[in-house]
Amino acid sequence: MTPSARVQAAIELLDAIIASARDGGPAADTLIARYFKERRYAGSRDRRAVRDHVYDAVRRAGERPSTGRAAMIGLARERLDIEVLFDGSAHGPAPIELGEEGAISGDVPDWLRPLLAGPVEQGALLGRAPVDLRVNRLKAAMKDVAPLYPDAVPIEGLSDAMRLSEGWPVEQSEPWKQGLVEVQDAGSQMISAACQAQPGMTVVDMCAGAGGKTLALASAMAGQGTLIAADTIRSRLARLGPRAERAGATFIETLLLDQVHESRALESLHGRADVVLVDAPCSGTGTWRRNPEARWRLTPARLDRLIQEQARILDFSAPLVKPDGVLVYATCALTDREGQDQTRAFLERHAGWAADTVLSPMGRPHGDGILLTPGHDGTDGFYFARLRRMA
């Protein structure tokens, strides 16, 4: 591919990403993979260059652009090396016309900016994310694994965490293949640690997804006790099985829930759980470093629906907790409506509950919980709180 053809390919991909964000379709990475699967002629350098163009344009535009061409023109206005490639050559983009508008630069959609928690460093939300590892204590100890990743640095406050540079191919390494480590953001590890799961406990991961936090809980429990990974989406839970087997966490039980009727399947667990983790569906504002096009998917109406769903999940999860047990509420979101406001509303609805004071090695106290941000902590953005059912 010529340099101009790479820019045109980026425009075509951006058109697909914009449409998918508008219509709730596949994520950008999926669309990029499909695009190049159909274009075998593109070499590795072509794919890398096109991908870089796409993500540079996505990161630059806080608001969803009208077209892929507008997104790339916006980038070209700031990058002469790209602007000269709008040359009208074969397979390249047509020249930029006089007065042709490009996408406006910005970190955060204008409507969302005032909803972000006050301490959030908005300019850091789109930085490049490192690769964080968690040592799997079911199979190894830090002293055994650290020498296998000589480029990794320890993460202060998390005894099982190491950090590698962006793009490090962990899944090609032998320790990962053997289940000695998992890729898990340090913020996510902090939330798992805040659960204080111990061997012999009964623990429920209510929105388990593919099980990243479930596996961290399994490691903390040393394979002893009852650990249930619950979710309403079968395909997500199906991904946990192979991961649990590789990690040696075969004691994990999975529970597929019927959305809207979750309480039916959970009734037998009422009053039994020492810990319930609710890592609720959210706006994903804390994960923009990894999914920058998520900004283009979020709307005020969707945020309202997510907040209602978070409250609903908290309400049907609370009865599972036994007296003096805890419910850990977490979101990878940085809006107060999904964080401190949601926690406060739960405590107002449910008598006999109180927020624990969390002594966290990272993050900042925020309302009744802890706020983690990329700018302050070098992690993805999270809010979490420990809510205790009084004995």
Q: How many residues does the chain have?
A: 391
**Torsion region of 24: left, alpha or beta (phi above 0 gives left; psi -120 to 50 gives alpha):** left
Tell how strand 369-372 and strand 364-366 pair up. antiparallel
DSSP calls for 186-199: HHHHHHHHHT---T
Buried b (16+ CB within 10 A) or exposed e, 231-265: bbeeebbeebeebbebbbbeebebbebeeeebeee
CA distances from 355 to 319, 346, 351, 389 (A): 16, 10, 12, 9
Distance between CA atoms of residues 145 and 133, nearest Å = 10
> Could you tell me the two tokens for 128?
């490049």
Using only the alpha carbons of the chain, give its radius of gyration.
Answer: 22
**Of the candidates 125, 101, 129, 127, which has an alpha carbon nearest to the alpha carbon of residue 113?**
125
282 is catalytic: no
| Amino acid at site 233 | I
User: For tokens 């016309």, what's the residue?
Assistant: 97
Helix (H, G, I), strand (E, B) or coil at 229: strand
Q: What angle do CA 381, 375, 287 make, to 5 degrees?
A: 30
Among the listed residues 195, 207, 282, 332, the single catalytic one is 332
DSSP 8-state class, residue 316: H
Distance between CA atoms of residues 315 and 276, nearest Å = 12
Distance between CA atoms of residues 42 and 50, nearest Å = 10
Burial class for 32, CB neighbours closer than 10 Å (0-12, 13-18, 19+)? buried
At 191, give phi and psi (nearest 5°): -65, -45
Cite the active site residues.
332
